[in-house]
Structure 1
């Protein structure tokens, strides 16, 4: 059974919950259902951490993409995984990422930070993931990844979003199997990709990349590291369902350890494959992986054509065409389950924050039947739909611009939220040393510094690509954007960020207002962050 206890029992720096808050939390937690075992955590993390929306972008920088991937794995993924393994094993409450931030820095910080953590996912699902699924399907079922239209994006995107909401509403007893299917889809997709890459190399050879191509540069750092960090966060997500786990204290560290290794392999091997099959000047951030896969599948049936301008196109036939259809479906399934697992986890953190007094009480409700935050699930679907409509209309159905703008916003909001989560481990270890820690991260101050420094630098570069060298120009120019559009790009990032801060503060105010209406006194932490010590 889980070792979960109440959040305030862990936090000696604040007063006990009010009777109203305690009763509310108890009533909502009574609806939770335990269906989350060690294997489920691992498969959930595989879906959370590995997505294909960034594989093509990594390949656009040639061997440097692979080099930066290894650097980030060692200096960011491993340190952050150890930090989150300690938090997830020691503090096993439902809504873990919110709970940790709230305990360390108070409800105001917890509310704003958690809003960023949550809102990233409907933005990501309604923008980037819809574009990724559309591109993968079009490469194999249509005329190519650039043939998207408004009608197609809406026709695919709306069912894509609301099917995700439906599965998120269902209990982990059902939802965990969707995540398991998504994990196996990743294994199948990457396994088949590596097989056809080997067959293609044996038949046609490879275009070749020299040792010098792997040399990293500052421009490739700015272009790739924010995306890589975005791809390597999420080790904490299963802890959003901490009280739905069978044994969080033991299973969380074990699941995280296995997922670090698996994630490194799932990203590293395909990137090498793309570099070997598809030259960097032919890769695009949106369709790079499907294009490389399609070209490799011609060994099973099909042809590769090189135009007068050097453009390479692939046509599949026979077994290659059938295999391509299967690959297109797998790509869409991978994109779908990426969004689903994040929605399942982040929606729980938002619901917990709302019944904890850091958001509107009406959203802090779990379904008695399913044990899931149904109201927040529906809210996520609505936000995703709005994002889909806004990005499609703003970009006039241009899938490439939709992909780039939505991905940049998702990266920035995601990375910002970890500025509250990562330092919480260090603060809580100092302020709450008596809580048992089944896993203790070594050199925690150094791990925290590495993780947070990387987050801060990359967030700045997402908003101002190339700042300090050549902002929004040359190698720092986002794909499909021009230098003259730099302020348009900046506004598409800054305006939502400012709005999200305001909404996070409103959530905190709404939680305080609800407590006051009930006549319950505010605890010190509800009045704002309390002093450390």
Structure 2
């Protein structure tokens, strides 16, 4: 299955052999649960709550004006071009192998970095709150936990979708259970103690909130295309992709909006944080089952659990860790496939473009992701203080944000392919495709600008926008610290593309009959 309309297209040597190893285990229900697991994370909920009601307002705005339009673009692409490695294939078809290689490297590298740099911390944050009295675990325990977290994820990514899809399903059900129980707890807590949320006026969106919050919200609302990374492992992509995306948009809105509102109503704004805000809100609401809430003279609120509240806290703390684990797993499962496909398609080293004959998964890329996630975790743990730490923090934040940059190639591909390949059957056609492309791409372009120039448009590199440890007069140094890694990523991706050209020379032309298949 070679997805192209280019008469000069050739099929790299060995590509058909790799595709023959794929196994079809991905149905409509699996796609929905996979998307819920992909889209709904908890690592950013506390951060959104730190700005009060405005965070909730910007979430709703971005759901309506970004998630909905972009999901329509991706539904059309996923249904019309159900190729393995979909996000890479779409960009390659629209803009060529080099653009596909660079864009896809950005798409892939985020995920092992995210797993080792943020998701481990999110899981540990939930365990610290409920299992260790709010005190950090010892360094040996932290390393052991991170090793199990990362390499268990790598193992499940290696196993076929017949196994991996069930882990994603469990992760999705864990989200429904965790966030559903939390919603009930919030109501019970409010009925007993009264609600202490922001005033109605504090929900009003502001320009400064737009500048500060939108990149974070967008990062939480991308991923509708990820199941299409396994397009040839689906049983009926033409019907199942649009249906799965449509349902997941609604589920994502509810599963983000309800717990965020709960955090705002239960936890004082100055007590929320990226890693512990949501677990702390859970612990405070759990006092309805046993425990007490005390307020220190400085306004710090502390919840202490007892009795049945402690037992339920253990369960919910484990669910927090499970949600973080499955967030990373689904992204690794999808993005590793796109990298492997690019490598057997002539946009990367052929060695990495190998699928396991036994499992039908990109084993070599899976292991590479596990190694990179481990390196990132060690670096993030050891480099914490001083100037070196502040530089590392910038690079880590950049690497985690590169997924957003990749959508500057993915979204326009829908418009380009409809124009360049008009005869392709499109089971789902996005309405007003040009407008949807412009709107979706504009949000991503804005987020990219804010990544390089935080606060631009309000107060470039002002106190509310720059990372800890940086001074206002260091904005040009910060920009250089952002541009250098970006240049390195582009250089690596270009080197991948150069390596991929070598085995394209041993390729055969694709027959017209093959080009017309789906």
> What range describes the TM-score normalised by the shorter chain of this pair?
over 0.9
Structure 2 residue 70 is the aligned partner of structure 1 residue 80: yes
Aligned in 2, Cα 1:220/1:150: closer, same or farther, shift over 3 Å?
A: farther
Q: Specify whether residues 408 and 221 from structure 1 end up closer, same or farther in structure 2 by C-alpha distance, changes over 3 A only.
A: farther
**Matching residue of 1:94:** 84
Determine if the alignment matches structure 1 residue 17 to structure 2 residue 13.
Answer: no
Tell which deviates more after alignment, 248-257 or 406-415: 406-415
Q: Please, which runs of 5 or more residues in structure 1 have no aligned partner?
A: 524-533
- Correspondence for 1:526: none
Q: 1:333 to 1:482 in 2, by over 3 A?
A: farther
Q: Tell me which of 392, 417, 441 is aligned to 1:428.
A: 417
1:472 to 461, 464, 468: 461
After superposition, the C-alpha distances for 1:46-71 in whole angstroms (9 at most, x for unaligned) are 00000000100110111110110011
Residue number in structure 2 paired with 1:202: 191
Is 1:300 matched with 2:289? yes
Match of 1:110 in 2: 100
Q: Does 1:354 align with 2:382?
A: no
Per the alignment, residue 337 of structure 1 pairs with 326
Which stretch has the larger CA shift, 65-74 or 482-491? Answer: 482-491
Q: Does 1:327 align with 2:320?
A: no
Q: Which runs of structure 2 are paired with 1:103-142 in the superposition (5 Å)?
A: 103-142=93-132
Q: Deviations over 1:438-489 (max 9, x none)?
A: 0000011111011111101111212322123322323224467665776776
* Equivalent residue for 2:304, pick from 298, 301, 315: 315
Aligned-pair distance for 1:160?
0.7
SS in 1 for 2:196: coil
User: What are the superposed Cα offsets for residues 115-154 of structure 1, whole Å, 9 maximum, x if unpaired?
Assistant: 1101110011010101111111101111327x36644442
Instruction: Give the match's secondary structure for 1:474.
Output: coil
Greater shift, 221-230 or 418-427, is seen at 221-230
For 1:169-198, what per-residue CA distance to the aligned partner results, in whole angstroms no more than 9, with x for missing partners?
Answer: 000000000000000000000011011111
- Is the contact between residue 35 and residue 245 of structure 1 (CA under 8 Å) also seen in structure 2? yes
Paired residues of 1:129 and 1:336 also in contact (CA < 8 A): yes
Counterparts in 2 of 1:401 and 1:158: CA distance versus 1, 3 Å: farther
> Is the CA contact 2:150–2:373 (under 8 Å) kept in the aligned structure 1?
yes
Q: Is the partner of 2:294 in helix, strand or coil?
A: strand
| The one of 266, 269, 282 aligned to 1:280 | 269
Indicate the residue corresponding to 2:157 in structure 1. 168
Query: What SS does the aligned partner of 1:476 have?
Result: coil
Report what 2:491 is aligned to.
502
**TM-score if structure 1 supplies the norm length?**
0.91
Q: Give the equivalent residue in structure 2 for 1:527.
A: none
1:56 to 43, 46, 55: 46
CA separation of 1:245 and 1:388: change in aligned 2, threshold 3 A: same
In structure 2, C-alpha distance between the alignment counterparts of 1:68 and 1:249, rounded to whole Å: 33
Q: CA RMSD in A?
A: 2.2
Q: Distance in 1 between matches of 2:481 and 2:290?
A: 43
Q: Distance in 1 between matches of 2:155 and 2:469?
A: 34
Shift of 1:354: 0.5
Alpha-carbon distance in 2 for matches of 1:269, 1:220: 20
Quick check: 2:343–2:349 contact (8 Å CA) kept in 1?
Answer: yes
In 2, distance between residues paired with 1:375 and 1:224? 37
Tell me, yes or no, if the aligned pair for 2:103 and 2:406 is still in contact at 8 Å.
yes
Displacement after TM superposition at 1:412 (Å): 2.4
Secondary structure at the residue paired with 2:10? coil
How far, CA to CA, are the matches of 1:63 and 1:178 in structure 2? 34
Give structure 2 stretches of 5+ with no counterpart: 511-518
Of 454-463 and 356-365, more deviation after overlay is shown by 454-463
CA distance in 2, matches of 1:415, 1:210: 33
Once the two structures are TM-superposed, the CA of residue 260 in structure 1 deviates from its matched residue by 0.1
Equivalence map 1:339-418=2 (5 Å): 339-396=328-385, 408-418=397-407
Counterpart of 2:232?
243
Q: Is the 8 A contact 2:111 2:400 kept in 1?
A: no
Counterpart of 2:205 in structure 1 is 216
**2:112 and 2:372 in contact (8 A); partners too:** yes
> Is the CA contact 1:123–1:406 (under 8 Å) kept in the aligned structure 2?
no
Q: Confirm whether residue 7 of structure 1 aligns to residue 3 of structure 2.
A: yes
**How far, CA to CA, are the matches of 2:396 and 2:287 in structure 1?**
30
Q: What residue is the counterpart of 1:529 in the other structure?
A: none
Evaluate the alpha carbon distance shift between residue 110 and residue 368 of structure 1 in structure 2; reply closer, same or farther with a 3 A threshold.
same
Aligned CA distance change for structure 1 residues 472 and 339 (closer, same or farther; 3 Å): same
Q: Which of the numbers 10, 27, 32 marks the counterpart of 1:42? A: 32
| Inter-CA distance 34–219: structure 2 relative to 1 (3 Å threshold) | same
- Distance (Å, rounded) in 2 between the aligned partners of 1:412 and 1:65: 19
Aligned to 2:246: 257
Report how far residue 498 of structure 1 moved: 2.0
Contact 2:211/2:457 (CA < 8 Å) preserved in 1? no
> Measured at CA, do residues 308 and 482 of structure 1 come closer, stay the same or move farther in structure 2, by a change above 3 Å?
farther
Matches of 1:266 and 1:505, distance apart in 2: 39
Partner of 2:444: 455
Matched, 1:29 2:22: no
Matched, 1:439 2:432: no
Compute the displacement of 1:413 (Å).
0.2
In 2, the alpha carbon distance for the partners of 1:180 and 1:58 equals 26
- Kindly state the Cα deviation for residue 394 of structure 1 after the two structures are TM-superposed: 1.8
Instruction: Please give the alpha-carbon distance, in whole angstroms, between the structure 2 residues aligned to 1:258 and 1:479.
Output: 39
CA contact (8 A) 2:383 2:392 kept: no
Q: Distance in 1 between matches of 2:308 and 2:452?
A: 45
Alpha-carbon distance in 2 for matches of 1:257, 1:238: 13
